[in-house]
Amino acid sequence: MARFAVFALPLLLVVALVMLINSWSDTPAVETTPPADLSAVVALPNGSVLTAPKGSVGRDMVDWLASDDDTERRFELGGREFDGRSIEPTMESKVRIERGVAILKANPNVSLEVIGYTAATADPAADLKLGQARADWIVNALHAGGIASSRLTAHSRGGADPIGDNKTPAGRAANERVAMILRHQH
């Protein structure tokens, strides 16, 4: 029995050491390299930073707010903000809300009007109601993120002002959208 212990104990120690080393190699390395495109990182007026690649709506908003342009500016989000004809936000929309909160917090002199649109159906009243519910969801999410409700308004245009052909699936999808108008408050 003593001979067994003499051979088994070192073997168990080696197995334990191998398992420990393997567990270390499974630990992911901490990413220390900067993003490939540093031009996507922008500083906001309040000292916070935001990743907004050139050509994105977020970057267009940041650039416009940093300019001397004192007029209002309309931004079409251009993405899928909601799943189909619902008020269920997509993951893309949730990420955009976080960016919107950061942009609005950094620019307290700006108000935002959110306009909800839908693809036109045979029921214009339902289209208006859905567009309003979408705009309200975005305003409520921005408010929950810390933006004063006095800076936010929401309304619907329903199926009005289509940007795509309502006779095609791609056109209807394009019309299911949200627009935002930023205004400097004086």
Residue 9 has pLDDT above 60, yes or no: no
Residue 74 has pLDDT above 60, yes or no: yes
Q: What is the pLDDT of residues 78-123, one digit of tens each?
A: 777 888 888 988 888 888 899 999 999 999 999 999 999 999 999 9
Residue 26 has pLDDT above 70, yes or no: no
Q: How confident is the model at residue 69 (pLDDT cuts 50, 70, 90)?
A: confident
Residue 29 has pLDDT above 80, yes or no: no
- 54-93 residues labelled b (16+ CB within 10 A) or e (exposed): eebbbbebbeebeeeeeeebebebeeebbeeeebebeeeb
Q: How confident is the model at residue 35 (pLDDT cuts 50, 70, 90)?
A: low
Residue 22 has pLDDT above 80, yes or no: no
* Cα(72)–Cα(179) distance, integer angstroms: 13
Please report, rounded to a whole number, the percentage of residues in the chain having pLDDT higher than 90.
56
For the question of whether the overall pTM of this predicted structure is more than 0.85, the answer is no
Mean pLDDT score of the chain, rounded to an integer? Answer: 83
Rounded mean pLDDT, 164-170: 93
CA atoms within 13 A on the CB side of 33: 4
**Low-confidence winner among 12-26, 54-68, 149-163 (lowest mean pLDDT):** 12-26
Alpha helices in the chain (DSSP H): 2-26, 57-66, 91-106, 124-144, 169-175
